[in-house]
Amino acid sequence: MSASSASTKSFFHVPPDGNPVQVPDLQSALDALGGGGYLWLNLLDPAREDLEALAQPFGLHPLAIEDCLDDEQIPKIEDYPTNNFILFNKFHYETGELYVDEVDLFLGKNFVILVSHDMHGDPSFLDRLEQMAGLDRENVLQGPDYLLHVIMDYLVDQKFATIGAIRDELDGIEEQIISDIAGFSPGELMRLRRNLLKIRKSITYEREIMVKICRKDSRFITEKSIYEFRDIYDHLSKFFEETDIYREMISSFMEMYLSMMNNRMSMLANRTNRVMRRLTMITTIFMPMTLLSGIGGMSEWSMMTGPENWKVAYPLFLVMMMGVGAVSYFVLKRLESGDRKEPE
């Protein structure tokens, strides 16, 4: 199957036998449909007029068209008389930023219409999707429901790549917390948590879509193709469980970070306490010595011992100062040793 050009539209006719053929416009596609087979129409960023042009020939409901033009919708499936409308999400993860883009699908008896919008950082989305369909030609030829499976399977594969990238980031964060706690920013964990919440919300609704398809609520999906959609449901269930696991990991990493930072702060506080204790010891030792030196430096000591006895009085005074300092030191040292032996 040939890739679409730079145009925002690409129309394909899939005949009952043979290869899919790209047709130039809508009228040519409708004419080709008269020979059997089904149509696959791709529209990127269509205007309202483009979608309304499809309403009459394919029976598109006005509410579904309105949903295609509103990018704030949640994934869902709607059953209309001539088609099923399915709103799915596509993930694109780049440089730590998660983009959730809307992909709208119409499935009818003989057509599949895909409406996509601005694919953030992924402008070649339609080209690669058409290439994937070309590689899976055997399934595409089986009918519109099989083509729908090919499209949805490709979208789910993009989710796998996104979740894998987040898993790698979590592994790196764990190593960084252990090896360089000071250089780690907890904002990284908050960013990953927000991204996982977006993924979980989208997958929750998409699983509901697959449940409705697998229980045969859609008359445009044959029983034979149900098995293919069950595989997609299994993948979405796995991704849902992984998002829960990664959210728990983020909580554990945050607790680890806070615990290690608390230990780091405690070590700094203990170091500060030891420094203050030593300074207090030095001050306490020199306080009585300062008092004695203050007394000895004045006339009181000479008056007490007599001026004529200075040769004995002042050496005795120095000995007294040294004795007081030694006694203070050993007493405080003993008290400090006792404090260290006490259990915390």
Phi, psi angles (nearest 5°) of residue 102: -95, 135
Sheet order of strands, 38-44 included: 21-23, 9-14, 38-44, 111-116, 97-108, 83-94, 76-80
Mean pLDDT across the stretch 188-201? 91
- In angstroms, the CA 66 to CA 274 distance is 71
Tens of pLDDT, residue by residue over 1-52, are 443 334 478 899 999 887 888 899 999 999 998 888 999 999 988 889 999 9
- Against a cut of 0.85, is the pTM above it? no
Q: Out of 103-117, 125-139, 163-177, which region has the weakest mean confidence (pLDDT)?
A: 125-139
Q: What residues contact 162, with CB distance under 8 A and at least 6 apart?
A: 91, 92, 93, 98, 199
CA quadruple 123, 128, 133, 137: dihedral sign: positive
Query: Phi-psi region for residue 143, left (φ > 0), alpha (ψ -120 to 50) or beta?
Result: left
| DSSP for 176-194, written as a single string | HHHH-STT--THHHHHHHH
Phi, psi angles (nearest 5°) of residue 122: -140, 65
Task: Report pLDDT for 220.
Answer: 93
Task: Record the tokens describing residue 294, joined without a space.
Answer: 């203050």
Task: Report pLDDT for 61.
Answer: 94
Tens of pLDDT, residue by residue over 195-254, are 999 999 999 999 999 999 999 888 899 989 998 999 999 999 999 999 999 999 998 888
pLDDT > 70 in the chain, percent: 86
Distances, alpha carbon 157 to alpha carbons 82, 132, 147, 161, 231, in Å: 29, 12, 15, 6, 12
Distances, alpha carbon 148 to alpha carbons 104, 109, 138, 232, 298, in Å: 11, 12, 13, 12, 104
Task: Record the tokens describing residue 202, joined without a space.
Answer: 């989208």
Phi, psi angles (nearest 5°) of residue 20: -60, 145
Tell me, rounded to whole angstroms, the distance of Cα 68 from its chain centroid: 27
Tens of pLDDT, residue by residue over 303-343, are 566 666 667 776 777 787 778 778 777 776 776 665 555 54
Apex 202 CA angle, 243 and 236, nearest 5: 60
Amino acid identity of 309? Answer: N
Which residues are bridge partners to 42 per DSSP?
Answer: 10, 114
Instruction: Kindly give the pairing relationship between strand 76-80 and strand 83-94.
Output: antiparallel
- In angstroms, the CA 203 to CA 239 distance is 8
Distances, alpha carbon 61 to alpha carbons 34, 35, 68, 98, 205, in Å: 23, 26, 11, 31, 22
